[in-house]
Structure 1
């Protein structure tokens, strides 16, 4: 998924979608997640420049917005950096506060599990590439036709994946194609960058386990996006 900059006529809707994903993600966790996500939402809604993807703010001001001390700010911002949600674009120097960037794509990847809670219309919007791209990842509300069983390794892998979880296969695995299998590495191609990133992050272990069962020589996977 390439998250477009929230600018132009569609900007308000995209901003609401990102904030909705954050809010529902927060409420799906414990009180610690509630508080942590609320804090980043405060930064986004009060100080974040959507157009330039810059969050220009000092630790003292963050502490005031969050009603905490600066030590808590330091600890919480470190957590966001470790999660890949925030990066330092320009460190603080004498007379100037730090400038941060927010990785909207990583945030959406980390909230994808709650998309069905918001609704299938939300899923459809989030799984589409920006308008200028040609790749669209369709969301399947029902399992598609199962793959034919065959003698080739990839056909057997697909059959096992479908048999274990038809819904999961229909939404994700059926869109993959095997590009190469050599040197103990299987290379799979996904139709979009979002799908490649998400499957690599979420389902690579399951895919590799099935591959190893069919072809024990496979020791790792590489999941790439179609050009």
Structure 2
């Protein structure tokens, strides 16, 4: 899913959608997840610049906002970065605090299971934010679409998810990708040609990563090579 940056005429509704998804997801989880999401929501609502996608706030300020010590702030910020929700845009230096961005698309994807708890109208409102099928299925595959037998691997499980989501796109682009292993929290997939690799990386990587992360949330990236 690619969510438009929350600016312009629909900015307010998009912001509420993101915060609503976080809230509903937190309420459906245990107290540890609830506390973590409450903390990220506090950063979003008090200091996040939506238009510039920037959170500029020192560890001391965050500790005061969260009512914790700075060691807790360091641990929690590291968890949020590892989770893919926070992105370090500029490392802090002497006299200057770090600048973070918010991966709003990842937040929505990770909270997708809680959308129905808000209501069908919420789900239908967010679904159009996904990549339109006609934009990525302009190449008709003449090959038989085949889903790999479940061999217990991460990629075979992700293939089943991708096929269930859209068999046409799976057959045209994902079926030909071969598992090249997982290393340093990244799954590497081999494409048959450089063009194939470039197209998937440019147009379908978020959909691909989303499916992989539903199987193994520790994976933070998918590399496409030829």
- RMSD value over aligned CA atoms? 3.5
Q: Is 1:172 matched with 2:165?
A: yes
**Max radius of gyration: which structure?**
1
Number of equivalenced pairs: 181
- Which structure 1 residue ranges, 5 or more long, are not aligned? 138-151, 159-167, 205-221
- How far does residue 43 in structure 1 lie from its aligned partner after superposition? 0.2
Q: Are the equivalent residues in 2 in contact too, given 1:54–1:101 (CA < 8 A)?
A: yes
User: Corresponding residue for 1:154?
Assistant: 145
- How far does residue 184 in structure 1 lie from its aligned partner after superposition? 5.3
TM-score, with structure 1 as normaliser? 0.67
Distance in 1, matches of 2:68 and 2:101, equals 22
User: Corresponding residue for 1:100?
Assistant: 100
SS where residue 200 of structure 1 aligns? helix
1:97-138 per-residue CA deviation (whole Å, 9 max, x = no partner) reads 1111111111111111111212222222222238xx7x169x
- Which structure 2 residue ranges, 5 or more long, are not aligned? 135-142, 149-160, 180-189, 217-222
User: Corresponding residue for 1:45?
Assistant: 45
User: Corresponding residue for 1:27?
Assistant: 27
Q: Is 1:201 matched with 2:213?
A: yes
Q: Are the equivalent residues in 2 in contact too, given 1:86–1:102 (CA < 8 A)?
A: yes
Distance in 1, matches of 2:60 and 2:80, equals 17
Distance in 2, matches of 1:61 and 1:170, equals 46
